[in-house]
Amino acid sequence: MFIHAFKSLRANPMRTLLVFGSLTVSVTAVFLINAIAHGIVSSYSTILRSDGDLIVTQAKISDTFFSDVDTALIPKIRKIPGVEKVTAMIVGASPVERLPIVAVYGLSPERMERYRLLRGHYPGPGEVMVGRSIAGRLPMPALSIGDRRFRIAGVFGSDTGFESGGVVLTLKDAGTLFHKKASMLFVDLDGRVPAEKVIAAVAALSPKIEVKSTESFVKNYHQFRIIETSADVISLIALLMGLISIASIMSVTMLERKYEFGILRALGYGRGVIVGRILLETLWIGVAAYLTALAAALGILWILRRLPALQGYVDGIITLPMAVEVGLAALGITVLGAILPAWKSSGIDPMELITRGSRA
């Protein structure tokens, strides 16, 4: 039966190619959208997780871009028992020279050291350091961010696309650019007081702030849920499109092949065997299409990561669970797209299949 499936596929190269093509395109799309969404979420999570046990943001804010936290809270938080260190960060985005949008990070001095300095020194007042991914595309001694000019102090590297494609400056300079004191505060704990107690104590300082453990912040961050949900919805649409094209190709071929099924039925083969034969044929294609799509997606992501215009921001990641999940989804649509028409056309009297099939 394995060999029969193979022969059938080879005998109908056009049909085989069409099913293979539509499946490959839809699975590649699913891989890309999920990989890119996962890349965005995991990059920003990495930045958020990099430092600090607690995150303090403005209360009732949906996006950290809009968060504004008063740095006057920092000395007060430092005095709370169990707190070891408090740092601040501003996250913004702005045109930089000819680049239309660049991530801009304003950091308190302690946070600077997290960035691997490749050249020069960490920025002081009126200075920036620029990420490796965009350094080559910026003019050298000085640049404009928005309407202000800064001297380039150095170049840094980072494994996170959002960082290596961005610029870093002092908290104060970033504050002037974005008209705020800080986007968020990171609180390190010394472990001597339970986190919940510290969270409560920090939260009590001001009604305008929200305090969460870093993990719970990342898990519940609304923007991540939006990205992930969008990716799920687009994946579903891509899969449905694949399913529809496979099912329609299959139902056209089922018409052509009715007499074949009629003969098999007349020879005493049950519906299950016929469905099984068709399934086996499409599974061959399914496996080939899945592997091709995986390779294509990895290739496209590799290119996107290196495309200068994208500044390294599109850093798609295909994880093993994702590969398994997409594999199962591809398997699902292959099976459905093949079984439905085969099942439908194998339920009639053999002679009707044979004569209708040959008349059609």
Partner 1 sequence: MIVAVDLVHFYGQERVIDGISLQIAPGEFVALTGESGSGKSTLLSILSTLLHPDSGHIFIDGQSMETLKDPNRFRREYIGFVFQFHYLIPYLNIRENVALAAPKRSGEEIMELLERLGIGAIAHKMADEVSGGQRQRAAIARAVANGPRILFADEPTGNLDSKNSEKVFDLFRKIADEGTTLVVATHDRRLAERADRIIEIKDGRLV
Count the site residues for partner 1 by CB under 8 A.
Answer: 23
Helix (H) or strand (E) holding 289: helix 271-306
169 three-class SS: strand
Q: Give Cα 101 distance to the centre of its chain.
A: 20
Binders of partner 1 in range 91-130 (CB under 8 A): none
Tokens 């968060």 map to which residue? 67
Q: Which two tokens stand for residue 200?
A: 């409560």
Instruction: State in angstroms the smallest separation of the CB of 347 from partner 1.
Output: 12
77 or 278: CB nearest partner 1: 278
Binders of partner 1 in range 251-290 (CB under 8 A): 259-260, 262-270
Instruction: State in angstroms the smallest separation of the CB of 288 from partner 1.
Output: 18
Q: Which of 82, 106, 341, 350 binds partner 1 (CB under 8 A)?
A: 350
7 or 197: CB nearest partner 1: 7
- The sign of the dihedral angle between the CA atoms of 138, 143, 148, 150 is positive
Angle between helix 222-266 and helix 271-306 axes, rounded to 10 deg:
150
**Three-class secondary structure assignment of 145-158:** ECCEEEEEEEEEEC
What burial class does residue 76 get, using C-beta atoms within 10 Å of its C-beta: 0-12 exposed, 13-18 middle, 19+ buried? middle
- Stretch of 29-37, 201-209, 211-219, 343-351 lying at the interface with partner 1 (CB under 8 A): 343-351
206 or 355: CB nearest partner 1: 355
12 binds partner 1 (CB under 8 A): yes
Q: Which two tokens stand for residue 159?
A: 């494994």
358 binds partner 1 (CB under 8 A): yes
343 binds partner 1 (CB under 8 A): no
10 binds partner 1 (CB under 8 A): yes
CB 22 within 8 A of CB 292: no
95 or 270: CB nearest partner 1: 270
Instruction: State in angstroms the smallest separation of the CB of 23 from partner 1.
Output: 21
- Count the Cβ atoms, other than its own, within 10 Å of residue 14: 9
Interface positions with partner 1 (CB under 8 A): 4, 7-8, 10-12, 259-260, 262-270, 349-352, 354, 358
